[in-house]
Amino acid sequence: MTLIRSLLIANRGEIACRIARTARDLGIRTIAIHSDADADALHVSTCDQAVALPGDAPADTYLRTDLIIAAARRTGAEAIHPGYGFLAENAAFAQAVIDAGLIWIGPPPTAIAAMGSKVEAKAAMRTAGVPVLPDSSVEGIDQIGMPLLIKASAGGGGRGMRIVRDSAQLAESLEIATREAVSAFGDGTVFCERYVERSRHIEIQVMADHHGNTVALFERECSIQRRHQKIVEEAPSPAVTPELRSRLCEAAVTAARNVGYIGAGTVEFLMDPAGEFYFLEMNTRLQVEHPVTEMITGLDLVALQIRIAEGHPLPAEALHPTITGHSIEVRLTAEDPAQNYMPMTGTFHRFELPHTAGIRVDTGISSGSVISPHYDSMVAKVIAHGTDRLDAIRRLHRALTESKVHGPTTNLDQLRQILLDPRFQSGDMHTGFLEDDPCITPTATSDLEFVAVALTMQARHRASATAWAFTPSGWRNNAAVAHAVTILDGDREVEVRYVLGRTLTVEITDIDQADPADPTGSPNIRQVPISQWEADTAGVSLSVDGLSACYEVDLVTDMNRTVAYVHSPDGSRRLFVQPRFPAVNLAGTAGSLTAPMPGAIRRVYVSVGELVTAGTPLLALEAMKMEHQVLAPADGIVAEVMIGVGDQVDTGQTLLRLEDANEDQGETS
Amino acid sequence: MPILSDQIDPRSAAYQANAAHMLELLAEHDRQLAIANAGGGEKYVARHRQRGKLLIRERIQLLIDPDSAFLELSPLAAWGTDFPVGAGTVTGIGVIEGVECMITGNDSTVRGGTSGLAGVRKSLRALEIAIENRLPFISLTESGGADLPHQSDIFIPGGKTFHDITTLSAMGVPTMSIVFGSSTAGGAYQPGMSDYVVMIDKRSKVFLGGPPLVKMATGEESDDESLGGAEMHARVSGLADYFATDEFDAIRIGRQIMRRINHRKLGPGPRGAGRAPHYSPEQLLGIPSADLKVPFDPRDVIARIVDESDFDEFKPLYGSSLVTGYAEIHGYNVGILANHRGVLFNEESQKAAQFIQLANQTDTPLVFLQNTTGYMVGKQYEQRGIVKDGSKMINAVSNSSVPHLTINMGASYGAGNYGMCGRPFGPRLLFTWPHAKTAVMGPQQLAGVLSIVARQSAESMGRPFDEEADAQMRAAVEAQIERESLAPFMTGKLYDDGIIDPRDTRTVLGIALSVVHNNVIRGRHGDGFGVFRM
């Protein structure tokens, strides 16, 4: 038995932070590694020490066995925790760590290797009596029948996975899956498996020590997935009865024992609508969704991993686990569900997730963090624990509603909609849940939200006033013109006009949107009858007909653009405030096509009829031994060339004429 | 701190009647403002908009800092005359990039933006305010030039507008002209005399003589663009410093210029943000008497316009018909002179003369709250030298060199108007409450005087006095004098800088004090006699 006093965490993001937290609790010194892009990341400041790995790409940094072991040596780390992803399930890395005389916090390399090939793992499980789905290599497809699922043998995370429902698509799907597998895992081996429609994803957390104890810490359900990647996970599963639970746990323990498993692992099963389950694969690491198990069992899985690595037997509370309440986790990702989950990058200038009762937040970022394109799009896990499933749903929804996530687009709204979806609330889930309904129904922005933005802008203007700061906002002795702010809400453009006299009058117009009930086609203008209001730079409170509510508005101005994040009982929203004046087009000044000084034409680069873009060199003029390039001030067509090479020209003399390519109207210089 | 006490009962019948009357007058004032704001009327406004142009007040709205205040001056100029209400010109003080500026502009929906006599007077007053207070001067030009049928009234006085623009420049106060449309013939000197000129592509037109005149003069064929277009002036003549693509761009450039103008106020800043009065300014609706014959205590007004209702009264026991004392308004130290019980006696006159001298000793701006029927007449007062004492007060007002701000909150009759710094005595700004009256004397008194004089004349000539004709004459004169003493009439003649809602008085005075502090605040002291004890 050893005592680990220092730990290198060979990972980044929330999991590195989460491991560091437990390590600190255990009195262990922590060492982070980081790429250049992550130099300012939260996991770096969370750890006691950090080693920089030059470069940004994972292949240059978090996947470099040699650099990581060197970092451990340099910092005197006694152990390495791989987290999940990157090198977590790389048997060669595990072996290298052990060979370096360091403690590997994970299963034996042999167990990793045994579970590393999905085909071989399934075969082994079949032999051990664990139920598996019929599968085959590509050659024996006919035995399986349609529909089937093509999977990468070395895969994970949904990459290289394709469903085939029609044999005509088979060849093409195989090709694509192979290509994806090669690019993602460096191994193009794929296999086919019967595809079960409307199946659930159920997995069992196992823990095994060096003393012959292997326990199952119950199931997690992870059926809600997007592109085969989990986004909502819970424990226990609403579809698992106590009887089914004991069978699942038994199968998982069998699977783990079968490969001589030590440490934390997860045995994944597919469950069909009839309640039959089949072994899918075993993940030989800590899972992303491990917190839901921690919440219902009260165990700290990372602490258990460390204790197991130190050689301790599992404690009594792990050997005899119990379930308390219900836990649900959602993965907050910087991606746009409405754009096929396109990853988003940028700065989260505000990133505040509430720590209310029953809520746990695991994140690797904080306000000001920059999301780079190099790594995974997940930015946080929000985990709720409640007395029962509905309690957990309610707490989680409330926490997401109160979250201040200001920056790149995230799936926050989608997560909220999933939690409110009747299918989810009744526990009626399957892995195609989001294909049936992606839960991305946009909700219309209320007029009061627009008003809140306008009045907060107003308060900000007043707060920054250096002269006449004492006057009432927008004071007039002759109120002839209303104050106006134009706000963009997706494709919608709305003008808020307000007069702040002794009473507030507000009018909202949807620009370019005529009232359908009005045959004259006049714009849809409506009054907002606000009876009481108060505003400061952080938001407003508005009262309409005795109903009052607070609208928190966070205004972020970058260059000429102001983004407004609005939080209210109506939800959270991102709106864009149009600048007061249109952006200046400095290049667009018409007609720079006159000679800037007297001189001789040395070169003419263009001829009549040629299309040029702004900045294209048109000709060269020599004066006082200097050669000056005359550039196209805007896109256009060369309409006329008034000079030739060798001509002497005078200041202001027209050299050539460009025409707008779109209009026939000539723009004379 | 001497906090003024609250003497007002908003439930009293008198208060209610006063407030109702005031609200009625304010509603009427709003109707008159709406007429001025409508400019040349629906047809011309629509045509203006069709050309993609902003209205003058929209241009100003965009030019000033967002959600900042704007103090429009004399919006009802030309009221009661043959000229359109507002005189086709908008003038006012606003803040651009933190700098207080005098902004003027033509309303080109009104008679094509031509200048009439009232418009010229309004522009000259704006320039006068800019000069006295060192305010950068910005004109939003779009004018058809002089209103030619009235050229004899405006040619000579109008020339001073160009003169005064360079006066400002010579003082080191920036001037700017943003040319939204025509600014031709004499009008061309508007941009010509300005420090900064912004012109708008295909909109600005600045030349001495247009194509017809050029054709008549020299036979040359020409067009507007080559004679005075924005591009020509930006590239060839150099009259334009900035070339704007459209109105928004021009206004943006105007703001950009002010952002870097490096303007410094010469007067001291306020002592800090002034705290609000303890009593609601809303009650200023019911405090001033609807019937000017009923006096009211100006301390109730002061309690609602000065910081924390904190007023240090000077000589409270002496000459109590005039209240004098010190206070702060939005952090600016001021001396206040306010009429109480209307009449100025010998003691009040002496007290005022002394107080004005003291304020000059300490460089303290003065606020005059007028509600006066004038200096006392009668044998006793004449023999005690009311002319001498009144003259002391008027002399002090005339030669005081600290800024004066005047609010007419009721009556401003006779020489009381002079002593309480009426228009002829050059207050930096003068505003009137809607119910106030200004005249040489009250209508009944004036008619009565005429009647007595006529009766004496008839008697001395031995003619019978026609009582019926006298009654008719008195009624007619009373009606005429009443009409001509009302606030809209006086404001129409530019005898004030505008009518204000009494509830806005504190805000208006705060703006005015901030404005006057653009210039040096220096009283008359140090180079003559000391303060004379009166």
pLDDT tens for residues B36-80? 999 999 999 999 999 989 999 999 999 999 999 999 999 999 999
A6-105 CATH pick, 3.40.50.20, 3.40.190.10, 1.10.287.3510, 3.90.1300.10: 3.40.50.20
Find out whether A424 and A418 touch, Cβ atoms under 8 Å.
yes
DSSP per residue over A271-330, as a string? E-TTS-EEEEEEE-S--TTHHHHHHHH---HHHHHHHHHTTPPPPHHHHS----SEEEEE
Which residue of chain A has the CA closest to B498? A477
Q: Which of B75, B98, B235 sits opposite A478 (nearest CB)?
A: B75
- Is residue B245 less than 8 Å (CB to CB) from chain A? yes
Contact criterion met (CB < 8 Å) for B69 and A476: yes
CA distance A605 to A617: 7
Instruction: Give the global pTM.
Output: 0.86
- Is residue B249 less than 8 Å (CB to CB) from chain A? yes
Q: Going by C-beta distance under 8 Å and a sequence separation of 6 or more, which residues neighbour residue B146?
A: B114, B115, B154, B155, B158, B185, B186
Q: Which of B69, B231, B274 sits opposite A468 (nearest CB)?
A: B69
Measured in residues, chain A has a length of: 669
Mutation for A interface: B67, B496, B497, most A CBs within 10 A: B67
Contact map slice: B 501-520 vs A, CB within 8 A: 501, 503-504, 507-508, 510-511, 514
CA distance B428 to B267: 15
The share of chain B scoring above pLDDT 70, in percent, equals 100
Question: What element of type H or E holds B314?
Answer: strand B312-314
B37 CB neighbours in chain A (<8 A) are: 478, 480
Q: Which of B60, B235, B510 sits opposite A470 (nearest CB)?
A: B510
- Is residue B429 less than 8 Å (CB to CB) from chain A? no
Q: A134-194 has which fold? A: Dna Ligase; domain 1 (3.30.1490)
CA distance A492 to A469: 34
- pLDDT computed for residue B422 by the predictor: 96
Q: What is the CA radius of gyration of chain B?
A: 25
Q: At what angle do helices A118-128 and A109-116 cross, to 10 degrees?
A: 100
Find out whether A422 and A433 touch, Cβ atoms under 8 Å.
no
Pairs of CB atoms within 8 A across A/B = 97
Question: What is the rounded average pLDDT of the residues B301-315?
Answer: 98
Can you state the percent helix, strand and coil of chain B, rounding each to 5?
45, 20, 35
Contact criterion met (CB < 8 Å) for A474 and B67: yes
pLDDT tens for residues B422-459? 999 999 999 999 999 999 988 888 899 999 999 999 99
pLDDT tens for residues A503-525? 899 999 988 765 556 555 566 78
pLDDT tens for residues A534-554? 999 999 999 999 999 999 999
Confidence of residue A558 (pLDDT cuts 50, 70, 90): confident
Confidence of residue A666 (pLDDT cuts 50, 70, 90): very low
| Cis previous bond, A236, omega within 30 | yes
Domain ranges of chain A: 6-105, 134-194, 447-577, 592-659
CA distance B249 to B200: 8
Contact criterion met (CB < 8 Å) for A590 and B61: no
Kindly tell me the number of DSSP H helices and DSSP E strands found in chain B: 19, 16
Question: What is the rounded average pLDDT of the residues B118-136?
Answer: 96
pLDDT-wise least confident of A295-309, A430-444, B108-122, B392-406: B108-122
Find out whether A485 and A506 touch, Cβ atoms under 8 Å.
no
Contact criterion met (CB < 8 Å) for A467 and B98: yes
Q: Which of A472, A581, A585 sits opposite B507 (nearest CB)?
A: A472
- pLDDT computed for residue B374 by the predictor: 94
CA distance A130 to A280: 10
Q: Which of B68, B248, B500 sits opposite A581 (nearest CB)?
A: B248
DSSP per residue over A375-432, as a string? S-SEEEEEEEEESSHHHHHHHHHHHHHH-EEESS--SHHHHHHHHH-HHHHTT---TT
Strand pairing class (A148-152; A135-136): unpaired
- pLDDT computed for residue A629 by the predictor: 81
Question: What is the rounded average pLDDT of the residues B202-220?
Answer: 90
Structure tokens given for A420? 């409110």
ipTM over 0.90: yes
pLDDT-wise least confident of A116-125, B309-318, B510-519: A116-125
- Is residue B57 less than 8 Å (CB to CB) from chain A? yes
Structure tokens given for B486? 């009302």
B497 CB neighbours in chain A (<8 A) are: none
pLDDT tens for residues A306-349? 999 999 999 999 999 999 999 999 999 999 999 889 989 999 99
Find out whether A20 and A44 touch, Cβ atoms under 8 Å.
no
- pLDDT computed for residue A585 by the predictor: 57
Confidence of residue A637 (pLDDT cuts 50, 70, 90): confident
- pLDDT computed for residue B288 by the predictor: 96
- pLDDT computed for residue B150 by the predictor: 81
- pLDDT computed for residue A656 by the predictor: 86
Contact criterion met (CB < 8 Å) for A467 and B75: no
Confidence of residue A174 (pLDDT cuts 50, 70, 90): confident
A588 CB neighbours in chain B (<8 A) are: 245
pLDDT-wise least confident of A120-124, B105-109, B519-523: A120-124
Contact map slice: B 97-156 vs A, CB within 8 A: 98-100
Contact map slice: B 437-496 vs A, CB within 8 A: none
Question: What is the rounded average pLDDT of the residues B494-507?
Answer: 98
Highest mean pLDDT among A279-283, B173-177, B373-377: B173-177
- pLDDT computed for residue A590 by the predictor: 47
Q: At what angle do helices A109-116 and A91-99 cross, to 10 degrees?
A: 170
Q: A592-659 has which fold? A: OB fold (Dihydrolipoamide Acetyltransferase, E2P) (2.40.50)
